[in-house]
Structure 1
Amino acid sequence: MTTSTLAPVQDLNLLRTFLAVQRAGSFTAAAPALGLTQPTVTSQIRALEVQLGRQLFQRLPRGVEPTAFARELAERIAAPLDDLDLVATGNCEIDGRTAPVHLAGPPELLCARVLPALAPLVADGVRVHVATGEDEELIEQLREGRHDLLISTQRPRGRALAVTPLAQEEHLLVATPDWAARVGSRAEGVPVCAALEAVPLVSTAGDMPVVRRYWRTQYGKQHPAVGPAMTVPSLHAVIAAVRAGAGYSVLPRSLCEAELASGALVRLEEPERPRTTTLLLVQRPGAEQNPATVQVVEALLRAARASEHPRPVPA
Structure 2
Amino acid sequence: MDLALLRTFVTVHRAGSFTRAAALLGLSQPAVTSQIRTLERQLGRPLFLRQARGVTPTTVGDELAHKAAPHLDALVEIAETGLDDDSALRTLHLAGPPEFTAERALPALTRLIGDDGQGFSLRASFGNAEETLEGLAAGHHDLAITTARPRGSLLTATALCDEEHVLVAAPRWPERISSAPPRPKSATPLDNLPVVEVHESLPFVSRYWASVFDARPAASGTVIVPDLRAVLACAVAGAGLAVLPRYLCREALERGDVVPLHDPPVPPLRTYFLVVRTGTLAMPPIARAHEWLQQAAVDWC
TM-score by length of 1: 0.86
Alignment correspondent of 1:6: none
CA 1:303–1:86 in structure 2 vs 1: closer, same or farther (change >3 Å)? closer
CA 1:261–1:59 in structure 2 vs 1: closer, same or farther (change >3 Å)? farther
Distance in 1, Cα, partners of 2:218 & 2:50: 43
TM-score by length of 2: 0.90
CA 1:289–1:239 in structure 2 vs 1: closer, same or farther (change >3 Å)? same
Q: Does the alignment pair 1:72 with 2:57?
A: no
Alignment correspondent of 2:223: 230
How far 1:96 moved relative to its partner? 4.5
CA contact (8 A) 2:81 2:87 kept: no
> Which of 190, 196, 221 is the aligned partner of 2:190?
196
How far 1:119 moved relative to its partner? 1.7
Q: Does the alignment pair 1:22 with 2:13?
A: yes
CA contact (8 A) 1:56 1:67 kept: yes
Alignment correspondent of 1:269: 262
> Which of 88, 103, 113 is the aligned partner of 1:122?
113
Alignment correspondent of 1:101: 92
SS at match of 1:279: strand
CA contact (8 A) 1:172 1:252 kept: yes
Distance in 1, Cα, partners of 2:36 & 2:165: 45
Alignment correspondent of 2:139: 145
1:169-226: CA deviation from partner (whole Å, max 9, x where unpaired): 11111101111232245578978962112210111111111221111111222x3112
> Which of 141, 160, 171 is the aligned partner of 1:166?
160
SS at match of 2:154: coil
1:24-50: CA deviation from partner (whole Å, max 9, x where unpaired): 232222223322122211221222223
> Which of 246, 249, 255 is the aligned partner of 1:256?
249
Distance in 1, Cα, partners of 2:147 & 2:140: 19
SS at match of 2:46: coil
Alignment correspondent of 1:294: 287
1:209-266: CA deviation from partner (whole Å, max 9, x where unpaired): 1221111111222x31121112112111111111100000111112111211211011
Alignment correspondent of 1:12: 3
Q: Which runs of 5+ in 2 are unaligned?
A: none
Moved more, 251-260 or 192-201: 192-201
CA contact (8 A) 1:104 1:130 kept: yes
- Percent identical: 45
1:64-110: CA deviation from partner (whole Å, max 9, x where unpaired): 33333322211100111122233334456633554121211111110
CA contact (8 A) 2:169 2:241 kept: yes
CA contact (8 A) 1:91 1:99 kept: no
Distance in 2, Cα, partners of 1:148 & 1:190: 52
In the alignment, residue 74 of structure 2 is paired with which amino acid? D
SS at match of 1:283: strand
Alignment correspondent of 2:209: 215
Distance in 2, Cα, partners of 1:91 & 1:27: 30
> Which of 20, 31, 36 is the aligned partner of 2:22?
31
CA 1:246–1:61 in structure 2 vs 1: closer, same or farther (change >3 Å)? farther
> Which of 218, 226, 236 is the aligned partner of 1:243?
236
CA 1:190–1:256 in structure 2 vs 1: closer, same or farther (change >3 Å)? farther
Q: Which runs of 5+ in 1 are unaligned?
A: 1-9
> Which of 36, 46, 63 is the aligned partner of 2:37?
46
